[in-house]
Amino acid sequence: MASYEQIKSRARAADPQAIARRSRWFLAGSVVVTLLLYSVPYGFVLGLPLLWLSTLVHELGHGFTAAALGGQFHSFVMYADGSGATTWGAPGSFGPIRQAMVAAGGLVGPALVAALGFVIARKPKAAQVTLLLGTFALAAIAVLVVRNGLGWAFVAGLGLVMALLATRKRPEVAQLGLVFLSTQLALSVFSRADYLFTEHAHTAQGVMPSDVAQIANALVGPYWLWGALCGLFSVIVLGLGLWIFFKGFDSFTGLRTWRRTRSAKA
């Protein structure tokens, strides 16, 4: 039978305001840890897995977008310098719009996943279930589409970490982990923003047209314009995810109420 202190502790842990405060501290702590990591000697080496995380989500963004549009996600490789490549195909001929969407899928992928992660991380139990499902998803990805050693090692390592976080007795551990991962993807939107305005991508496989150049070739306009649009979309999506993370879904209800009250006064 649970003691009074245990019941009180559980009630405190389930309190919505306590969860919100804890989530915000998790986010602040994630940012601080990341900044400290890059400020210590050999910090860049220690931070390589965080770079690879954004590469993984970027390349999966290409592959899953192609699959969602009716194509096939064939393979994915990643390299130690943070570059990667995705191979995809289509049963017929992909038109220019779908080709451009596949190219853009990788560019906005980190922001979309980060925003979704922040929204889910508001609830400890939801974060725990999400990391557990993510573990199974990474296992499938490793088997089906990853095609080089570093890719396999990183995906397997990330899946193991997520499984450890998801299976802890306290769901707050999974919540902290999801906030940390989402923060890294959110920061990568800005730290790797220069790629949005690059005509050529320098990868371990050689020099090739960048994603924004592929969009420009498929549609019209200069590559930097499409880079700016993808960047703006990423910032808006990320801002929305952070707004929900800090304010909750109730903020939308409050906004609608404020607008109705203002309209009635007018």
Looking at residue 178, its pLDDT comes to 94
Over its length of 266 residues, how does the chain's per-residue pLDDT go in tens digits?
545 454 444 544 455 666 667 777 777 777 777 777 767 776 677 788 989 999 999 999 999 999 999 999 999 999 999 999 999 988 766 789 999 999 999 999 999 999 999 999 999 999 999 999 999 999 999 999 999 999 999 999 999 999 999 999 999 999 989 999 999 999 899 889 999 999 999 888 889 999 999 999 999 999 999 999 999 999 999 999 999 988 876 655 555 555 555 555 55
**3-state secondary structure at position 205:** coil
Reported pTM: 0.84
- What's the CA gap between 42 and 34, in Å, rounded? 13
Token digits of residue 132 = 């557990």
Q: What are the beta bridge partners of residue 31? A: none
In this structure, how many other beta carbons lie within 10 angstroms of the beta carbon of residue 127? Answer: 27
Looking at residue 141, its pLDDT comes to 97
Looking at residue 39, its pLDDT comes to 72
